[in-house]
Amino acid sequence: MGDPYAVGRRGFLKTGAVAAAATAVACGKPDSRWRALSEGEAQTLAAACDQIIPADQDPGASQAGVVVFIDRQLATRQKKTLPTWQAGIAALEATARRRQGKTFVELSADQQTALLQQIERGEGDKADWGELAPADFFRLLHGHTMMGFYGDPRHGGNKERVAWRMLGMPDPPVRGRLHETPPPPALAPRPAAAPAPRKG
């Protein structure tokens, strides 16, 4: 996988200098490609998002950068909701382990669908979910997957406007003006990290 924070050639050229400066002071786990999530959390989230918008003839959620979008939000303007996301992802994993003895990622597509349908209906074991309402977490997951997939590419999702092209919307969206702004230094591209060891 490429750098999740790549902003496209034009944006990168513009922010290259800022990026170089920012890399030196970037916080978070230095070996992670993610700003807020752990590698394991990101993998679980990618699988869940791909249930919300699966790949078919068009890219699915994770290919379109939805996890990048969510991770960026959790590192910036929605920092306060990070514990909720972490708890929700952990609860998904706990449920998968308890029911099938597997990680969420290892479940079959149908098993993943069934599990998400249950939490959408608000069904979840107190032992796995604690204080978090499963339906609330599903709403969060669903809403952000939609935003990441169909929203503006400047936030890290809808990579190369895949969603808009899928819908047949003419390009570019705004005539006569540079539409996107470069990301702030805190979100500047990082050099590619060493591949994370596969869990399993």
The site for other proteins (CB under 8 A) is made up of: 51-54, 56, 58, 73, 77-78, 113, 142-143, 145-147, 150-152, 154-155, 163-164, 166-170, 173-177, 179-181
Burial annotation 155-176 (CB, 10 A radius, 16+ → b, else e)? bbbbbebbbbeeeeeeeeeeee
Tell me whether residue 20 or residue 178 sits nearer to other proteins (CB atom): 178
In angstroms, what is the minimal distance from the CB of 120 to other proteins? Answer: 8
Crossing angle of helices 39-52 and 66-75, in 10° steps, is: 130
Alpha carbon distances (Å) from 25 to 12, 29, 44, 138, 191: 18, 12, 28, 35, 13
In angstroms, what is the minimal distance from the CB of 157 to other proteins? Answer: 10
Asked whether the beta carbons of 191 and 24 are under 8 A apart, the reply is no
In angstroms, what is the minimal distance from the CB of 15 to other proteins? Answer: 15
In angstroms, what is the minimal distance from the CB of 12 to other proteins? Answer: 18
